[in-house]
Structure 1
Amino acid sequence: MTTSSFQRGVVGGVKTYAGLTGALLAMCVLFGFASDHFFTLSTLGTLSNDIPTLVVMAVGMTFVLIIGGIDLSVGSVMALAASILSMAVVRWGWPVWTASLLGVACAALCGAATGAISVGWRIPSFIVSLGVLEIARGMAYQVTNSRTEYIGSAVEAISAPIIFGLSPAILAALAIVIAGQLVLTRTVIGRQWIAIGTNEEAVRLSGIAPRPRKVLVYAMMGLLSGVGALFQVSRLEAADPNGGVGMELQVIAAVVIGGTSLMGGRGSVVSTFIGVLIISVLEAGLAQVGVSEPMKRIVTGLVIVAAVVLDTYRRRGERA
């Protein structure tokens, strides 16, 4: 990478952070004027309890999109991990942490299977993950007998506020964001993932095997879906086999709004976190001002389309 291209990358990253932060602050000011209850501890507590699952799964999806892939199975994999966790606790009498490890491991296995099939047979990850979506959802129904499993207070501590209204779940999610950004920007494997998304053939010709590195990304996506399941179960104190329906769309939306390219090769975990905040603040603010659910979906969809259009113009500007 030349000095000029490096400088353009740094400047572009700063502009992205500034633009996203400005949009987030503008939304907060707008909803603050529109609703008397937006700037309250209750709203802050609601947001901090709702976003940990979305945050950790969006971190994983950032890496998947960076290597030029996509994973549509994350919502179903999350439901499967939650169902296995609940079964281990309720039916087998396992301790919560042991059951959690089992659920996370199963989710990681689902992710690894998606990656191995997609990479090994050169099948588009869109198709493979769509199949895994159905398999994982069916297994979740099978494990729970299509019923919600109530675990009770055994897992509530993970989402219980401990300091300034923040729970261990949101603190863990923030730690994962920091770790993800460091891996992406400060490690060899992170730079290799970016290179794979930019030009996989060039990476292969340089003597680096892309396939195992891509499978690792999908396994990590599954693992973080399992962590998200733990956060969701702790908040609801139950595992719902219907949980996470449509979650993959929220996750992808947050990542795209954060500036990660759908074409691969460019992304930032910190920007993804800001994208999660934008999605969450938008939904909370629209709900507080009385916008109907159909209109909320329309507005959110327009924001996603706008983010993709801006990404297209940004890529054209970089080529110029």
Structure 2
Amino acid sequence: MTEPTARPDGGPAIIGDAPSARPTGTRLGLSNYLGLAGALAAMIALFSALSSHFLTYETFSTIANQIPDLVVMSVGMTFVLIIAGIDLSVGSVLALAASVVSVAALKWGWGPVPAALIGMAAAALTGSVTGAVTVGWRIPSFIVSLGVLEAARGVAYQLTNSRTSYIGDAFDFLSNPIAVGISPSFVIAVVVMIAAQLVLTRTVFGRHLIGIGTNEEAVRLAGVDPRPYKVAVFALMGALSGLAALFQISRLEAADPNAGVGLELQVIAAVVIGGTSLMGGRGSVISTFFGVLIISVLAAGLAQIGANEPTKRIITGAVIVVAVVLDTYRSRRTRG
């Protein structure tokens, strides 16, 4: 059976004549990586000039230990956007997973490992529901995930009686630095990122995702049913939101039903800044990591120079708009 592959120019998927055919849609190119690295370096240089306290080891170790939840959720969102979907419920799913963990730990007396597993399972199940409804009824994932956003938040409130549940230090091992000030959460997030990039670029599963996002009909005509792949991607997004919930619990020592409000916007922003196309069929997890770093360095730098909250929002919003405009320009250029 032939495999669907994405064209290097971002056009419709084609059917490779040999099993060794490889999709190139995931490869955003060296210029994209250099551009992101240059933007990050310029941002660091700017904030270092504006604040004498920015260019320090403490600043960067703090950023590294604060971004694991954003990293793993952005990895999941990269997969979702590559298949031309979107998931607006990730912040609420994070809160739901944290609430389930709190119930398992505080009410049922479960240990950290089983409590963590059931929290991630609940998040993965929620993502599966989003994917199943989207695929089964052919409803845009934007609409479905918007409904799940409200429902998952409501369940989180029900489980916690709308109050923050203090879990204690049971999950501290995830956030306590182990070497050079870096926490296990950051190490886990980097491992997830590398594994996801390998899956996307080196496996048949990843090739099929690129094909689905580029030209779903071509994939179907090649004899591959795209529906289970799409559901699996939304389930993965849910599971990674559950993992992010564990990272937050380890830092806060509590499960907050209000956690993750607006987090979906940061996640989508990081992925888009990294160069993943909103139209599907093109993306890179490594580029997404650069996007996370840019968002995080921007937030830390603005805080250190004393920018107020409205100014932070204006600047961050402008960066996101510029990234979307550049993505649109790049897409039109490759089609031309």
TM-score of the superposition, structure 1-length normalised?
Answer: 0.97
Q: How far apart are the structure 2 equivalents of 1:137 and 1:201?
A: 35
How far has the Cα of 1:7 moved from its partner?
11
Q: Please state if 1:241 is matched with 2:257.
A: yes
Q: How far apart are the structure 2 equivalents of 1:68 and 1:283?
A: 28
In structure 2, the gaps of 5 or more residues are: 10-21
How far has the Cα of 1:8 moved from its partner?
8.6
In structure 1, the gaps of 5 or more residues are: none
Matching residue of 2:163: 147
More helix by share: 1
Distance 1:7 1:230, change over 3 A: closer
CA offset digits 1:63-101 (Å, max 9, x no partner): 000000000000000000001101111111100011000
Q: Please state if 1:24 is matched with 2:40.
A: yes
Q: How far apart are the structure 2 equivalents of 1:104 and 1:130?
A: 20
TM-score of the superposition, structure 2-length normalised?
Answer: 0.92
Tell me which amino acid in the other structure corresponds to 1:171.
Answer: V
Matching residue of 1:219: 235
CA RMSD of aligned residues (A): 1.7
Q: Is contact 2:91–2:259 with CA below 8 Å preserved after alignment?
A: yes
Distance 1:4 1:244, change over 3 A: closer
Distance 1:208 1:3, change over 3 A: closer
Matching residue of 2:133: 117
What's the secondary structure of 1:153's corresponding residue? coil
Matching residue of 2:177: 161
Q: Give the alignment partner of residue 74 of structure 1, picking from 90, 105, 110.
A: 90
Tell me which amino acid in the other structure corresponds to 2:226.
Answer: P
Q: Please state if 1:185 is matched with 2:206.
A: no
How far has the Cα of 1:157 moved from its partner?
1.1
CA offset digits 1:185-235 (Å, max 9, x no partner): 000010100110000011101100001110000000000000000001001
Q: Is contact 1:64–1:221 with CA below 8 Å preserved after alignment?
A: yes
What's the secondary structure of 2:88's corresponding residue? coil
Q: How far apart are the structure 2 equivalents of 1:208 and 1:7?
A: 15
Q: Give the alignment partner of residue 267 of structure 2, picking from 238, 251, 264.
A: 251
How far has the Cα of 1:119 moved from its partner?
0.6
Q: Give the alignment partner of residue 174 of structure 1, picking from 170, 190, 204.
A: 190
Q: Is contact 1:78–1:226 with CA below 8 Å preserved after alignment?
A: yes
Matching residue of 2:101: 85
Q: Is contact 1:49–1:235 with CA below 8 Å preserved after alignment?
A: no
Matching residue of 2:54: 38
